[in-house]
């Protein structure tokens, strides 16, 4: 379980194949503090650390993960958001995030202001009920707040700290991002659906 508060930006320094799986080598300031078998969010995807060496760590991506996330398009040199799993003895600064990507969405617009940035993302009808005004959403592992929700899009506003310390800075119009909708909203939807069908 994660919070969507990014700890560090990692750089992909190697991508290799091991039979059907893809092994990613990432360099970051927190890599040396990791342990093998530890869960770590990479742009919102919960992955298991399989090797640690100095300021680098490796994770393994199976075909299912590649087919459902933006990881299939990751390249050497790319920046990705990193977050270690949450500790239950501290504050929850973001919102509850599982690291299980629901879908990928496309950035429709980006407005660069003097001290803030507004990104607009597509919102397919099948997901519209999971996005609410001032509600939480996880984009590439970052906990953000939705606003200006329309029939087919929603906006998020980014403050300078978040922009400069996460991979949202590299998102352009047409970029695909990993999306995880609020787990509370998904459970409410499931309960309501079960009652309706019973």
CATH number, position 185: 2.40.30.20
**Cβ atoms < 10 Å from Cβ of 129:** 13
Tell me which residue range forms the domain holding 54. Answer: 8-84
Q: Which of 20, 102, 27 is nearest to 61 (CA)?
A: 20
- Is residue 147 situated within a structural domain? yes
For residues 183 and 118, state if they share a domain.
yes
What SS3 state is found at 65?
helix
- Cα–Cα distances in Å, from 121 out to 83, 117, 124, 132, 150? 23, 13, 10, 14, 10
For residues 56 and 125, state if they share a domain.
no
**pTM over 0.75, yes/no:** yes
For residues 113 and 141, state if they share a domain.
yes
pLDDT at 40: 96
- Is residue 92 situated within a structural domain? no
* Residue pLDDT, tens place only, 135-150: 999 999 999 999 999 9
* Residue pLDDT, tens place only, 9-50: 999 999 999 889 999 999 999 999 999 999 999 999 999 999
Report whether 140 contacts 105 (CB < 8 A): no
Tokens 């003097």 correspond to what residue?
114
All residue ranges of the chain with pLDDT < 50 are none
Angle value at C-alpha 171, between 165 and 175, nearest 5 degrees: 150
Report whether 135 contacts 141 (CB < 8 A): no
């Amino acid at each position: 379980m994660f919070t969507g508060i990014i700890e560090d930006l990692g750089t992909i320094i190697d991508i290799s194949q091991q039979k059907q799986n893809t092994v990613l080598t990432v360099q970051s300031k927190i890599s040396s503090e990791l342990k093998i078998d530890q869960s770590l969010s990479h742009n919102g995807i919960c992955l298991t650390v399989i090797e640690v060496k100095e300021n680098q760590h490796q994770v393994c991506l199976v075909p299912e993960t590649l087919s459902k996330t933006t990881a299939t398009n990751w390249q050497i040199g790319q920046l990705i958001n990193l977050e270690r799993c949450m500790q239950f003895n501290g504050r929850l600064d973001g919102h509850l995030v599982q690291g299980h990507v629901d879908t990928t969405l496309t950035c429709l617009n980006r407005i660069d202001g003097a001290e803030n940035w507004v990104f607009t993302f597509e919102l397919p009808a099948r997901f519209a009920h999971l996005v609410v005004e001032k509600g939480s959403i996880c984009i590439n592992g970052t906990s953000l707040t939705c606003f200006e929700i329309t029939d087919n899009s929603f906006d998020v506003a980014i403050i300078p700290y978040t922009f400069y310390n996460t991979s949202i800075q590299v998102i352009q119009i047409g970029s695909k991002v990993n999306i995880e909708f609020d787990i509370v909203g998904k459970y409410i939807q499931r309960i309501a659906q079960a009652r309706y069908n019973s």
